[in-house]
């Protein structure tokens, strides 16, 4: 009997070791009341973009456990397709909620540490730039260099100039703090002096850990050694595997724990901009699609919501910091 118990514990240990998501996203939720504060069209757009990306790219075999369910790429695709069919039916919110609860198993984060997720926000930046270095535009944005050049810290790159003149420059910005913010947000549209635009998206990093900077001075920026390199794209903003993100419908999570392309129901304190330009908060529930990752989004208790690129996106994204958020993943039965 003791032998059988030891074998069971060992197998359970192997499962958790191989799939750390099983340790965190392990609680089934029955009859969850599902609501959504946005239009169905934007959610269907996010689903279609994810399905299109899955068709265009080979889904990496990063299998994850949610509870006792082993997620395969096909299960994620089937879940998205089934969910889209339900959305397109002309049913009331109550009927749709009932149908989803019947068709899907719902999992949430539940550990001895916390049942809550901290929500932050990100947005697609708008910047001014130049394809040539000038006295005004002198802060370079670099493409992903060869591996031996990726080992340098932010200070070595921006202060010591170890990449200067090696041909990795894409363009130059006119503000070091906007460059730093671009590294955090991961994407932006750069308007050149002739009015043309260039889309920049995350390409790679130097793999140093991210460290937050409390006070922005040029010297303090070097406290964060992590450095982001970019690529020019025809479209943007783009998430993991170049999936086009959808404002208010895309989130970033830790992809060692949460599934790429997963259907997610979230509850959080949503920041809203009043007519006077002030930020107020309202408890909100909605569906989103898990479509990207983030440098600072690590572990089971973090999620980053994409706010888009309109006039309010920056203000609202920066205002979102909710330590009492909740997150639920839907998997087709």
What is the C-alpha separation between 312 and 309, in angstroms, rounded?
8
Q: Tens digits of per-residue pLDDT, 127-174?
A: 999 999 999 999 999 999 987 888 999 999 999 999 999 999 999 999
Kindly list the distances between the CA atom of residue 67 and the CA atoms of 31, 283, 300, in Å, as whole numbers in the listed order.
17, 27, 14
Q: Which residue has the higher pLDDT, 214 or 269?
A: 269
Determine the pLDDT at residue 13: 38
Determine the pLDDT at residue 153: 96
Share of the chain above pLDDT 90, in %: 67
Determine the pLDDT at residue 20: 58
Go through the domains of the chain in sequence order and give each one's CATH number. Answer: 23-122+240-332 (2.40.40.10), 125-233 (2.40.240.50)
pLDDT band at 66 (very low <50, low <70, confident <90, very high): confident
290 touches 259 (CB < 8 A): yes
97 touches 133 (CB < 8 A): no
Determine the pLDDT at residue 27: 80
Determine the pLDDT at residue 18: 47
Determine the pLDDT at residue 17: 43
pLDDT band at 322 (very low <50, low <70, confident <90, very high): very high
pTM for this one?
A: 0.87
228 touches 170 (CB < 8 A): no
Determine the pLDDT at residue 131: 97
Q: By C-alpha distance, which of 244, 330, 294 is closest to 46?
A: 244
Determine the pLDDT at residue 320: 97
Which tokens hold the place of 54?
Answer: 């899955």
């Amino acid at each position: 009997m003791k032998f059988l118990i030891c074998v069971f514990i060992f197998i359970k240990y192997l499962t958790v070791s191989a799939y750390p998501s099983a340790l965190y996203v392990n609680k089934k939720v029955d009859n969850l009341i599902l609501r959504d504060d946005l239009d169905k069209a934007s959610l269907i757009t996010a689903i279609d973009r994810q399905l299109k990306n899955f068709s265009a790219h080979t889904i990496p075999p990063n299998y994850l456990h949610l509870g006792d369910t082993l997620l395969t790429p096909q299960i994620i695709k089937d879940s998205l397709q089934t969910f889209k069919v339900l959305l397109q039916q002309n049913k009331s919110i109550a009927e749709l909620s009932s149908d989803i609860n019947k068709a899907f198993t719902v999992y949430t984060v539940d550990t001895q540490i916390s049942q809550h997720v901290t929500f932050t926000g990100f947005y697609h930046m708008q910047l001014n730039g130049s394809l040539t270095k000038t006295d005004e535009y002198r802060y370079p944005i670099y493409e992903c260099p060869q591996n031996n050049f990726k080992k340098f810290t932010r200070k070595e790159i921006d202060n010591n100039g170890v990449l200067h003149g090696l041909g990795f420059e894409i363009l130059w910005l006119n503000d070091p703090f906007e460059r730093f913010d671009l590294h955090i947000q991961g994407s932006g549209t750069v308007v050149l002096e002739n009015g043309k635009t260039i889309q920049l998206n995350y390409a790679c990093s130097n793999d140093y850990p991210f460290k937050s900077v409390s006070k922005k001075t040029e010297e303090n920026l070097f406290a964060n050694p992590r450095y982001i390199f970019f690529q020019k794209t025809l479209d943007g903003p783009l998430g993991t595997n170049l999936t086009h993100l959808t404002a208010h419908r895309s989130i970033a999570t830790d992809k060692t724990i949460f599934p790429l392309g997963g259907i997610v129901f979230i509850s959080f304190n949503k920041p809203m901009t009043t007519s006077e330009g002030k930020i107020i908060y309202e408890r909100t529930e909605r569906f989103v699609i898990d479509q990207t990752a983030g440098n600072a989004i690590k572990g089971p208790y973090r999620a980053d919501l994409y706010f888009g690129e309109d006039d309010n996106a920056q203000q609202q994204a920066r205002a979102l910091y909710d330590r009492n958020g909740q997150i639920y993943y839907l998997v087709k039965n």
